[in-house]
Amino acid sequence: MKALFDALGSDLKVICLQETKLSSSGDVERLERVEGWDGAHAVCESSNHRVGYSGVAVYWRSNEICPTSIERGVCAKGDAGESTMWAGEIAPFADDATRAKEIDGEGRALWVDFGEFVLCTVYVPAVFGDPAVDEKTAERAAFKRDFLSALEARYKSLRERGRNVILCGDWNIAPSWKLDRADEDPNAVEPRNPSRDWLAAQLAGDAMVDVFREFFPTLGDAFTCWNVASGAQLSNYGSRIDYFLCDRAVTLKRVRGVGVAQKFEGSDHAPVYLELEESMWRRRDSQQTPPSLAISMLYPGRQTTVDSIFARASSTSNATPEFLNAASQSRAKPTRPSARAQSRAGVSDAPKRKPEATLKDFFVVKSKKKEPDDRNERQLDTVEQPIAPTANAFESRETKVSSEEARGAWMNTFAKMAPPKCKHGETCKVRTVKKKESPHCGRVFFCCPRPAGARTNPDCDCGFFLWREHRAPK
């Protein structure tokens, strides 16, 4: 945690995390505590979905600011003693407790009241496939619809009471089908997307604004998410699905900057940041007690630090992440991420410095197991079986033919296993379908080794694809 926070910058006041993958409050308790920071988590505890699948968190500099209340979920009516965000009878799904529990059980939203504004970080469900032909996809599409509907009801109830609201996180919705996603075919017709329709409705009029687009109405290639397995980050072939939504009054008067750190490594998502004027932050009163859902209140007295885990580990760096912001609209070519991690959204006074060291530096990577020596197996193909003294010539010939057939079979097998060449004439990479819901799960295939990108880009993936079992011998 400390390495992550240091990397994101020393000027940050609040850090929002999505897809934390914690499965219980016990996981939160065991997390390292970073000196000078407090926070709150919403974890995935739903019995209807994968435990530990999602989850969100908000951290703040506890020596500078302190929230007045915290609330988990989009359907909850508020926690005891913390009623500043309570929606009462108008709470979403107030008459359907079962559905409300399902929606909030995945830990996809966390509300934190900082006095001048209410911050909500979200991890909106992603839906893959066609709901019209797949029952499970249809269920998840309905879940996403209900989640967004509840989120809308909650933030609008706050706006009706005159509160400033900032929504941020991983939305899994590209606001503009043309501008906010890599488009292979500029002439393609935009398909209907209920989630994008919902977002467009929120941005209609003066209700809420996409802060990035308010500052950069036409800037392209400002992507925040890529398929790193295909190397798409190297060619910046992705989509913009991480962003801030604010009410227009805040955006026009009190936001000082917004940007995307596309070169920040370690995730398939880039951190996005929002810079607010100093008057938006209420200094912490020395007598102020954090809300009951704050980590410091839930687990008092527990202070695990990096030093207690890695006594001799230390890392320093003066590297600075490159941000896509008002000061510089040019986009540097992203570098390859070092590991898969959760997406990050931060609220700050300004982007700052990041060290090059990562948590990987604290671990020693085990060397691969030595492959067994298969020379003996290969020799079996070339050794003819000894002929017994009583064997006739026919038996000897049959044995020799069998050995030659075995040799041919093995050579054919090895030829099929060797990766073919792609259209660039380069050796293909070997990949395996890992999606459990896919009918092809477990199948191995060959594909172009270059990063994904537009088909018109000759330096990117040429589109070569071949199932391994269809590999023809050389």
Can you give the pLDDT at residue 340? 36
Q: Which residues of 275-296 are buried (b: 16+ CB within 10 A; e: fewer)?
A: bbeeebbbebeeeeebbebbbb
The total of other beta-carbon atoms located within 10 Å of residue 384's CB is 11
- Which residue(s) pair with 122 in the sheet? 109, 169
Nearest Cα neighbor of 264 from 339, 221, 322, 347 is 322
Which has the closest alpha carbon to 429: 449, 409, 402?
449
Q: How far is Cα of residue 361 from the mean position of the Cα atoms in its chain?
A: 22
Residue 123 known to be catalytic: yes
Indicate if 170 belongs to the active site. yes
Please choose, from the candidates 138, 64, 173, 154, the residue with its C-alpha nearest in 3D space to the C-alpha of residue 104. 154
Strand (E) or helix (H) holding 225: strand 225-226
327 burial type by CB count under 10 A (0-12 exposed, 13-18 middle, 19+ buried): exposed
DSSP per-residue string spanning 250-303: HHHHHEEEEEE-TT--SSSB--EEEEE-GGGSPPPPTTPPPPTTSHHHHSTT--
What are the residues facing 71 on neighbouring strands? 111
Q: Which residues does the annotation place in the binding site for Mg(2+)?
A: 19, 170, 172, 268-269
- Is 41 a known active-site residue? no
CATH fourth-level superfamily of 2-362? Endonuclease/exonuclease/phosphatase (3.60.10.10)
Distances (CA, A) of 339 to 57, 229, 336: 20, 10, 9
- Residue 414 pLDDT: 57
| String of DSSP letters for 159-180 | HHTT--EEEEEE-S--S-TTTS
Q: What is the pLDDT of residue 437?
A: 73
- Concatenated DSSP letters for 296-333? HHHSTT----HHHHSTT-----------BBTTB---PP
In this predicted structure, what is the pLDDT of residue 352? 47
Query: Tens-digit pLDDT profile for the chain (474 aa)?
Result: 888 888 888 899 999 999 999 877 778 888 888 999 999 999 988 766 666 679 999 999 999 999 999 999 998 755 444 445 554 456 688 788 899 999 999 999 999 999 999 999 999 999 988 888 889 899 999 999 999 999 999 999 899 889 999 999 999 999 998 899 987 676 778 888 999 999 999 999 778 999 999 999 999 999 999 988 778 888 888 999 999 999 988 888 899 999 999 888 888 999 999 999 999 998 888 788 999 999 999 998 655 444 443 443 444 444 444 556 543 343 334 443 333 334 455 555 544 444 444 433 333 333 344 444 333 333 333 333 444 444 454 444 555 556 777 776 666 665 556 888 888 888 888 888 887 778 888 889 889 888 888 777 888 888 888 888 877 665
Which is the catalytic residue, given 6, 38, 123, 349? 123
What's the whole-model pTM score?
Answer: 0.70
Say which DSSP state 53 is in: S
Report pLDDT for 50.
Answer: 66
The one catalytic residue in 38, 104, 113, 170 is 170
Can you give the pLDDT at residue 434? Answer: 84
| Domains in the chain: boundaries | 2-362, 370-410, 418-474
pLDDT for position 55: 93
> Regarding beta strands 118-123 and 165-170, do their DSSP bridges make them parallel or antiparallel, or are they unpaired?
parallel
pLDDT recorded at residue 411: 64
Taking Cα atoms as reference points, which of 193, 178, 19, 42 lies closest to residue 105? 42
